[in-house]
């Protein structure tokens, strides 16, 4: 039943908040959209439970021509701050934090913070 409701949810999110959440994305429970506007979640994205997502964030494929599409996985408890872009077949591991306006192109280990363009781990 939940799968049938996803196209309606997608439409509602697009109209009300300018969000685009593909119905094929796999979203966990208790995901918190803080200031939910301009969030884009692509078809193959996996977002686990208790993730916090701020405004103007993008989760999607790398878009390299001729290569198969690959999408990111966001593990439980991660926090993605506003303006961040998480691109390609990477994993943001448990309780990782992605800083505002960062571009994440590689895996982020658990319990770490990554910031910058491209995003790098900080101590």
1 pLDDT above the threshold of 50? no
Q: Which of 42, 38, 91, 40 is nearest to 63 (CA)?
A: 42
CATH class held by domain 2-122: mainly beta
The DSSP secondary structure of 35-75, one letter per residue, reads: S--S-EE-TT-EE-TT-EE-TT-EEE----TTS-----EE-
5 pLDDT above the threshold of 90? no
Condensed to tens digits (0 to 9), the pLDDT of residues 15-54 reads 566 888 888 999 999 999 988 789 999 999 999 999 999 9
Query: Is the peptide bond prior to 118 cis by the omega test (within 30 degrees of 0)?
Result: yes
Helix (H, G, I), strand (E, B) or coil at 85: strand
């Amino acid at each position: 039943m939940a799968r049938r409701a996803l196209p309606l949810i997608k439409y509602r999110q697009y109209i009300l908040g300018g969000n685009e959440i593909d119905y094929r994305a796999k979203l966990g429970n208790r995901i918190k959209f803080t200031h939910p506007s301009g969030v884009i979640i692509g078809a193959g994205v996996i977002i686990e439970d208790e993730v916090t997502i701020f405004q103007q964030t993008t989760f999607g494929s790398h878009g390299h021509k001729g290569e198969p599409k690959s999408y990111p996985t966001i593990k439980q408890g991660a926090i993605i701050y506003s303006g961040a872009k998480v691109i390609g077949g990477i994993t943001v591991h448990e309780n990782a934090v992605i800083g505002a306006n960062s571009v994440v192109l590689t895996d982020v280990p658990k319990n770490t913070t990554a910031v910058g363009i491209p995003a790098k781990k900080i101590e």
